[in-house]
Every structure is written in C-alpha cells, then in structure tokens.
Structure 1
Amino acid sequence: MCKPEPRLRADALRNRERIVAAAREMFVEHGPDISLDEVARRAGVGNATLYRHFTDRVELVRRVTLYVTDRVADEAAAALAEEADGFDALSRFVHAAVAERVGALCPLLAGVAQEDGELAAARERLELAVEALVKSAKSCGRLRADVEIGDLMVVLTQLTRPLPSSGCLDFDSFVHRHLQLFLDGLRAPARSRLPGSAATLEDLRQRP
C-alpha cells in the first residue's frame, strides 16, 4: 500500500504539477520510454527538481496515470451534473475524454502495479461515472439498447491511439470528427443489428 504523500509547499506543488503535465504530453507524443531529462526541460525545471519529486520512471508513470484517470472521471461527473439530456452528457464526456489521449497513454499501464490501491480507486470512480452516463443516456431513450460501457471504452481507446508513424501532429483535426461519427452510430433508434454481444467492463478486465 502506498504511503500518503507529504503536504507540499505552493511552489513545490506547482513544480510537481508542471512535471506531471509535461510528462503526460511527452508520453502521448513519444511513448513511455522518453528521457526524464527531456521531461524536466519541457516542464521548465531542473533535473534535480524532477528527481526530488519522482525517484524513477515508474513513479512518474504512476502519477501521470492517476492524473489522467482523475481528470477523465471529473469530466464524466461534470457532464452528468451539468447537462439536462443524458445523451448530450455522454457526448460531452467522450469529446473531453479523447482530448486526454487515453488510448495513447494505455502503454503506460503495463508498468504500473495492478495491486495499487490508489489507482484501483481512481479506476473504479471513473467506471462508476461512465456507467452513470450510459444509464442516463439510455433512460432518456437516445442511446441504443445494444451497447454497454465496454463498447464505449474500447472505441475511446482506439480513437485516441495515434496512427503508426504519424505522431500526434494536428491529431485534433480529425479525431473529434471521427468521434462524432461514432456518436451518431450510438443514437436510438438503432439503424442496424450489431454482430456479437455488447462489451462489458468484466470483458475488458479478462486477461489471456
């Protein structure tokens, strides 16, 4: 179990946040094997400052994973609370989620301990928030009945993975367009019969 982190001074907290934000950007752009020295330069801090906050790459990856998971969960909760229509809330959430590049960050999870209690709690909070969005969109009759949260998470992951050798240049110019095509396909009444069965969270958690 991870120990609670000590309270940081305001300037130290700002540096930590800058490091995490810079690392997230560089993980998206270049993958999990980026140089930590380059992360420090992107954040505008010295190498010693980075290593004072994060002793190694695993610790930084863990913090970036938590940062993104919490931000996406916050987006889900805000959309559900602020949008009167369930499908509008779902649409708002998925556009916000792709902006976080959740698919591009998936390779980071391979280096994070699965028994990490804080990460497990963050994932559960996200899953519950997205389940509430799906339920709300179905209850208002605008989300087709034959899709589940797993279908949504799979598509979000795939749409936010940059194409091979393409980098992330101008990624936003087409990902939100393609996401809107997907959202149109989610609307009820359904215009086609989907093959197979809906993907659930249990399906996604299964490992070979």
Structure 2
Amino acid sequence: MAHGGGSAPVPRRARRADAARNAELLLSAAKDLFGEHGPEVALDEVARRAGLGNATLYRHFPTRGDLLVAVYADEVAELCRGAAALTDRHPPGDALFAWLDDFVVHVATKRALALAVTEGPDERRTELFERWHGSMRSTAEVLLSGARAAGAVRDDLAVGDLLALVSGAAMTAADGEHARRLLGIMRHGFEPPARPSV
C-alpha cells in the first residue's frame, strides 16, 4: 500500500521506543506532581508537565487509577532496587538501617498515594498490595538476615516485627524527618545487648 506524501512508515521498534519513553516521561511527571500537590492533581497537568498531549496520557494510562498504580509500583520497585546498592556500599548492619531509613520515609510520605491506589476494586487492591508488600518484605528479609549473621542486630528480631515497628513509626510521624528520628531511637532496641566485659 502506498503512503501519502511519500513518507516512510515509522519502524515498529522506533514506535515501541517512543512509547516507552513517553510512559517514562508521564510517570516522572506524575511522581513529581503527586509529591508536590497530592494524588488528586489534574491529569491534564501531568500531560503538560511531561510535554505530551492528553491523548498520549490516556493511551498509556486510561484512568487515574491506572496512573496511580503505575506510579506507586514504580516507587516500590525503586525502594527495593536500592537495597542492592546499599549492600555493595555498607556493612550488613548499616545497609539494613540505611534501607529502613528509605523505607520509613517512603511509608511516611507516600501514604496519600497508597491510600488513593486502594480506591480501586477490592480484588485488584488486595492483589496489588500483597505483591508490593511481598517485595518489600523479601527485601527486608535479605537485609535482616545479613545483619543478623554479622551480629549487628538481635538474634530474635523477626522481619514481621521489624516492619511492623518501623511502619508504625512512619504512620504516626509528622513527616519524613520525624520518621527518621523515630527509627534512630528504635535502632538501639534492635541492636544486640552489649556483651559483659570480662
């Protein structure tokens, strides 16, 4: 079939690359705007910040719920990916607490986004949150195991207890900095008791 104007069709690979780039631009813009104004920000503003048209936004994210899910999933993935870099740069105990520092700020500052994501159908909400919580729990378990093996935390500290305490501090904190302060106080309770000198 001839193409009008003599212009060649865009190769499929280039279209896929453009689509992936547009999705990244939209996610980045949404993350920034949600952080600045909350998850209720106008979707037109997301498209404008990304430098794209509304049609492109709705092609990638047909509903606000789809965009919220994508943004929160990206936040969780970024949090979990960060653990590998921390274990490369720090001893096991410090890596655990550096990640918990990121985790406590995540919970304290992404609460409105997480609540907005839960406005979808119950089955979808449950499946998504189980997946995200599973990712964070697995990441914490790996870091905690390393810290426990290095003698940096108490032997009886379980990952469920650890995340419950840290999440509780994050959800009651005034902001991210207050959450970090509470984590610093809790750290002394997580560390093993000092051995008596002989």
TM-score normalised per structure 2: 0.69
Consecutive unaligned residues in structure 2, runs of 5 or more: 1-11
State the partner residue of 1:183.
187
The total of aligned residue pairs comes to: 177
RMSD between superposed Cα atoms in Å: 3.3
Aligned residue for 2:93? Answer: 87
Q: Residues 180 and 15 from structure 1, CA distance in 2 versus in 1: closer, same or farther, beyond 3 angstroms?
A: farther
Give the alignment of 1:49-64 within 5 angstroms: 49-64=56-71
Deviation, 1:134, is 1.4
Tell me whether 1:132 sits opposite 2:136 in the alignment. Answer: no
Structure 2 counterpart of 1:194: none
Task: For residues 92-150 of structure 1, give each alpha carbon's deviation from its aligned partner in whole angstroms, at most 9, with x where no partner exists.
Answer: 21233345444443313413513547x65454333212111112212222213454323
Q: Distance in 2 between matches of 1:163 and 1:142?
A: 26
Do 1:144 and 1:186's aligned partners in 2 also have CA atoms closer than 8 Å?
yes
Equivalent position SS for 1:9:
helix
User: Within the alignment, does 1:111 sit opposite 2:119 as a pair?
Assistant: yes
Gapped regions of structure 1 (runs ≥ 5): 1-5, 165-170, 191-208
Larger radius of gyration: 2
The code of the aligned residue for 2:28 comes to: A
- In the TM superposition, residue 182 of structure 1 has moved relative to its aligned partner by 3.3
With normalisation by structure 1, the TM-score equals 0.66
Instruction: Give the helix-richer structure, 1 or 2.
Output: 2
* 1:54/1:60 contact within 8 Å kept: yes
Cα pair 1:159 1:179 within 8 Å, conserved: yes
Structure 1: how far apart are the matches of 2:34 and 2:75? 12
